[in-house]
Amino acid sequence: MGSTSSTLAKIPNAEDLMQETGFTPAHLVRLYDRFKVLDKDKKGFLTPQDFVAIKELAMNPICDRIIGAFFTSGGETLDFPSFVRILAHFRPIDKNRPKEPTSPDPINSRSNKLKFAFQLYDQDKDGKISRHELLQVLRAMLEKQVTEEQLESIADRTIQEADLDRDDAISFEEFRKSLEKVNIDHKMSIRFLR
Amino acid sequence: MTLLPRLSLALTLLVVFSELSQANILRSSSGSSSGSEGSPSTNVTSNSSTTITTLPIVTWKWHHVETPYLVALWVLVCWLCKLLAQLNARLKSFFPESGLLIICGFILGGIVWGADKAQTFKLEPRNFFYFLLPQIILDTGYFMPNKLFFSNLGAILVHAVIGTCWNAGAVGVSLWGCYLGGAMGDLNIGLLQFLLFGSLLAAVDPVAVIAVFEEVHVNEVLFIWVFGESLLNDGVTVVLYNVFDAFVSLGGSKINAGEIIKGIVSFFVVSFGGSLIGVAFAIIISLLTKYTGKVQIIEAGFIFVLGYLSYLTAEMLSLSAILSVTFCGVCCQKYVNANMDEKSVTAVRYAMKVFANGSETMIFVFLGVTAIDNVIWVWNTGFICLTILFAIVYRFIGVFTLTWMLNRYRLVPIEVIDQLVMSYGGLRGAVAYGLAASLDETRIKEKNLIISTTLIVVYFTVVIQGLTMKPLVKWLKVKRVEPTELKLIAKVNNRACEHILAAMEDIAGRIGDNWWTRGWKRFEDTYITWFLMKPEARKNKDYLFSIFHKLNLEDAVNYVAEGEKRGSLAFLRNGDRTNVDFDKKFGMEFSGVMPDITSELDYGIDNVPMTSIRRDSIPSVSLDIHEQDMKDMNEDFNAHHLLQQHLYRSRKNHRHKYSRSDFKINQSEDEVQEIFQRTMRSRLESFKSAKMGVSPAKKITKHPKPSQKVRAFRDFEFSEVDSAYSGDAAAAGAGIENPAFMPEMDTPPVAPSQRAQRQLPWSPTNLQRLTPLRISNRSTDSFVMADVPAAQDSPEEPPEDGSQQDGTHM
């Protein structure tokens, strides 16, 4: 489409972004359009209110955490490159990427996807999912009728199963180990972001 | 089980009774007819039931009530069959209900046949098309998930139009080829008639499809494809049927290019014309409901009458009646639901389901009854077997080819398993039979053969395919089921990932979010809603407002209910036991602070009402009971199992959104509601806290010594608990205001549990009595802030940012 290239020109640092995230120009343009749609007041950046305005998001039990993941370190503005970088986590893994030991993992690598998920649980960023944090996640994702007792038992059991070094918390390594059988690419990729 | 024999006995009696009455009629009618042949005068006397000699106290007036009585009786019998079909749970779990109903129909047909030696109660095409089908389609249209439907409309149309044409043509031509090859013996039939047969058999039937897909949970895209296809292919079916019917009567020789072009043009006219009629009636309904505020009792009825009229109007103009009534339902649902009173909406929904379900039951029973008739059965093995074979094979080929083509343009391709289910779910049903039965036998000599074959195909698809659908799906999907050896954290993460993906899809804009949808929404919001919706309904469209309203209403209702349960408002002071539970359960220091709730509780529309506190106490009371249970249940405790059961389902796991038998359409609608309300509540609270500069309190429990604790907020023994919670509610809520994201805030953005957020009551006027439990680093004057009665703002007012708030409160 002719409009792609013209819109592409409007995006600052488009080339670098594409390099970094792996998005195609068409996708980048599409995301840029979406960014502009979400940015109703034409501020040039997004705020949490813009995310809140997405009605479907309210149906999501962990929507607030997810919105928080976009606005890391308490910032209130989200510019387009950051927006794209977060979404890049959900690109399907490129299976035929050549293995270059020196270059860093692409954003949508398996371990980076896992890191993203891990950060949603580990809100205080100490590198571990404490029992307390786990309780909160479980509370958000479980139906109201689950009692506190049950919740605590589930949390205890969860930590017990995954915790290898007995520090009553789940570190990133333990997290990754527990998920080694899971097809993360399948679970954490959105096809249309290919 | 004693119910079953009794019911069957009752059924049999009913049918026998109707038979006897029928026989009675036949005798009396034959008597009167023979009498009338004699002479008019004797006719008069015999018809006036002989001259009476004395005043009869009671007379037998069967002939007066015959028709309506039989109709009502049959309706009753059919619905009793449905009851029968539900009785045996084990049978119901694997045998599709539609199949059971057909079998009941066989039995009933047998009884009728035994009594009458002729099938007096067949499924007449006229009755079927005018009295049984419209309400089913109206129900389908009215409950159609519009967003899903329109975003997949392209694919649906491709399948409906191209798929049906392909099916019709391929089946017809192949059968003709086999006929020429001699596989069917001698038949008085030609290519055109084969094509006609193909066209009436090609269409996937909406009635049968839903009946089977209800029992098999498939993902929503697949569901809407099959469902939409079954509805929209009527346009094609009607056209093909009429075209080939006309061609058959014209005779093969008169068909030239002109006729064929007319046929193609008629397709467009019929389909679009039918849809436009439906839309026109939808507009009429919506406009009407705009003004029927004063006749709420009857406004529900307008939907049904006008829906039926749209069907008949399209039928009168020889356009596609099913398309008409579908689009009538599809287009009017939004405006009607907005305009009408809630009670009317509920009335309409319930009534629709009753009619639709009732009709569906009757259709299947009569499909069974009609079979027991020796007149129609012409058995031609080759014809029948080949038809079934071709119908299935070509369906598969059609679906796979079309889906392959569509997948190339789709952003999310449809998987092979889903395509398999879609092909296998192409059931034929009563519509095909109705079309077959309305063939003209003078022109189509083999009408009975066609009817028999159609019936066999219908039975085959409904019963056999319906029976095997569930096991097939289970077998196919078995590879994708997670092994339970996954650790709990992995399971939690899996579900969380699904939620994350759903959220990311929403954020990144799903497929439907493009220029067209936005443009349409704009157009609709400005013009159409103005035209078709009541002004009050339009205002309430502001969803934020309605959420607040709903939450407040709910809280208010709960509060009053709880109050009544406890007898009086005195319960608020009464909470010794509950407090203990809280301490124990949460093992936390904070034994809460009980605000003086007995002070005036005003809940204006935008106050966070009192009842949230009640809600907290309620679980604690039930926890008390739970204590006992838990001890007993410890050995049975299984975290995996619990997790499995209670995790909120993600979007892709939700049940499909249309169901003819369940009034609560989407079971997980409750879940979604719950999630939505929790989110809104947490946002509400963080919003409130942002406005007031106070974070929502932790959960409250009632405390026996309220007065003491109220003053004790200076007691810093709460502080360590506070620090854990400080700012959390705010952080969790990407609220309407975002206090969490104020850079000055120093607090760890730990999201609190939802329970912790569930709120203590406060309204701005009550602030002085409340304890701001959070002693944040930011402002040490929180208790001062509490004493300031803040002005009451409306929730919709966009709040100022944090720094300004501090200013106002100081």
The pLDDT, as a whole number, for residue B80 is: 92
Amino acid at B147: K
Q: Which residues of A touch B753 (CB under 8 A)?
A: 135-136, 139-140
Shortest distance, CA A103 to any CA of chain B (angstroms): 27
Contact A54 B506 (CB under 8 A): yes
Contacts of B496 in chain A (CB under 8 A): 62, 117, 120-121, 137, 141
The dihedral formed by the CA atoms of B5, B7, B9 and B12, expressed in degrees to the nearest 10:
-130
Please provide the DSSP assignment of B394-430 as one string. HHHHHHHHHHHHHHTT-SSPPPHHHHHHHHHT----H
Instruction: Give the C-alpha separation, B44 to B54, whole Å.
Output: 19
Note whether B412 contacts A: Cβ–Cβ < 8 A.
yes
Question: What distance in Å separates the CA atoms of residue B43 and residue B32, rounded to the nearest whole number?
Answer: 7
Token pair listed for B499: 């939620």
Q: Which residues of B touch A178 (CB under 8 A)?
A: 487, 489-490
CB B176 within 8 A of CB B361: no
Residues B331/B282, Cβ–Cβ less than 8 Å: yes
Q: Which of B544, B753, B778 to mutate to test the interface with A (most CBs of A within 10 A)?
A: B753
d(CA B301, CA B344): 9
A182 interaction partners in chain B (CB closer than 8 Å): 486, 490, 493-494
CB contact residues (below 8 A), chain A span 4-43, against chain B:
30-31, 34, 37-38
Give tens-digit pLDDT for A72-102: 777 788 888 888 888 888 887 776 666 666 6
Interface subset of A 134-163, CB within 8 angstroms of B: 135-150, 153-154, 157-158, 161-162
**pLDDT grade for A153, boundaries at 50, 70 and 90:** confident
A-chain residues within 8 Å CB-CB of B504? Answer: 66, 87, 90, 190
Q: What angle, rounded to 10 degrees, do the helices at B488-508 and B639-646 form? A: 20
Q: Which of B490, B672, B736 sits opposite A179 (nearest CB)?
A: B490
What angle (nearest 5°) sits at the alpha carbon of residue A61, between those of residues A58 and A65? 90
Tell me the mean pLDDT per 10 residues along chain B, length 810.
58 60 46 37 45 86 89 92 84 81 90 81 86 92 86 88 91 89 78 88 85 73 86 86 84 78 88 92 91 85 93 92 93 88 88 92 90 81 88 93 86 77 87 88 83 90 85 68 65 83 78 61 79 74 58 73 68 42 36 33 33 31 34 52 74 59 56 74 69 45 38 37 36 37 39 43 38 40 39 37 38
CB contacts of A56 in chain B (<8 Å) are: 506
**B623 in reach of chain A (CB within 8 A):** yes
Write down the pTM of the prediction: 0.64
To the nearest 10°, report the CA torsion of B529, B533, B535, B541: -70
Q: B494 and A182: CB-CB below 8 Å?
A: yes
Quote the minimal CA–CA distance from B504 to chain A in Å. 7
Is B630 close to A66, i.e. CB distance below 8 A? no
Residues of A whose CB is below 8 A from B495: 141
Task: Give Cβ neighbours of residue A95 (< 8 Å, ≥ 6 apart).
Answer: none
pLDDT at B568: 57
Per DSSP, what are the bridge partners of residue B608?
B762
In degrees and rounded to multiples of 5, residue B144 shows phi and psi of -65, 130
What token pair was written down for B228? 């939409």
Asked if B426 has any chain A CB less than 8 Å from its own CB, the reply is no
Query: Which pLDDT score, from 0 to 100, does residue A167 have?
Result: 85
Query: How many Cβ contacts (< 8 angstroms) between chains A and B?
Result: 223
Residues B299 and B178: their CA atoms lie apart, in Å, by 56
Q: Does B796 touch chain A (CB under 8 A)?
A: no
Considering only CB atoms, A136 lies closest to which of B499, B734, B753, namely B753
Interface of A with B in 88-117 (CB under 8 A): 90, 117
pLDDT digits (tens, 9 = 90+) for B606-626: 333 333 333 332 222 223 333
B657 vs A45, higher pLDDT: A45
| Among the partner residues B502, B742, B751, nearest to A123 by beta-carbon distance | B751
The answer to whether the CB atoms of A76 and B651 lie below 8 A apart is: no
- CB-hemisphere CA count at 13 Å for B69? 14
How high is the pLDDT of residue A105?
A: 74
Choose among B160, B174, B81, B41: nearest CA to B366.
B81
B649: contact with A, CB 8 A cutoff:
no
Q: CB neighbours of A6 closer than 8 A, spacing ≥ 6?
A: none
Q: Identify the pLDDT of residue B692.
A: 55
Q: How far is CA B393 from CA A121, B202, B388, in A?
A: 50, 12, 9
**Looking at beta carbons, which residues of chain B come within 8 Å of A140?**
678, 751, 753-754
In the CATH scheme, what is the code of domain A1-90? 1.10.238.10
Residue B379 CB neighbours (<10 A): 10
Closest partner residue to B733 (CB to CB) among A31, A64, A157 is A64
pLDDT at B263: 85
This complex has an ipTM of 0.91
Q: Which of B157, B240, B158 is nearest to B202 (CA)?
A: B240
A53 part of contact set with chain B, CB < 8 Å:
no
**Is there a common fold for A1-90 and A107-194?**
yes
Residue among B492, B433, B489, B488 nearest B459 (CA): B433
Residue (of B757, B755, B761) closest to B614 by Cα position: B761
Task: Return residues 518-557 of B near A (CB < 8 Å).
Answer: 518, 543
Query: How far apart are the C-alpha atoms of B232 and B802, rounded to whole Å?
Result: 55
* Cα distances (angstroms) measured from residue B209 to each of B100, B363, B425, B465: 15, 14, 7, 11
Per-residue b or e along B316-341, where b marks 16 or more CB atoms closer than 10 Å to that residue's CB: eeebbbbbbbbbbbbbbbbbbbbbbe
Instruction: Return the residue of A nearest to B638 by Cα.
Output: A154
Class of the CATH domain delimited by A107-194: mainly alpha
Query: In terms of CA atoms, which chain B residue is nearest residue A187?
Result: B497
CB-CB contact of B616 with B699 (8 Å): yes
Handedness of CA B627, B632, B634, B637 (dihedral sign): negative
Alpha-carbon gap, residue B225 to B399, rounded angstroms: 11
Residues from chain B contacting residue A154 (CB–CB below 8 Å): 488, 639, 642-643
Domain boundaries, chain A: 1-90, 107-194
Between CA B419 and CA B413 the distance in angstroms is: 10
Helix/strand number for chain B, H first, E second: 37, 0
**CB-CB neighbors (< 8 A) of B492 in chain A:** 137-138, 141, 158
What values do phi and psi take at B608, rounded to 5? Answer: -80, 115
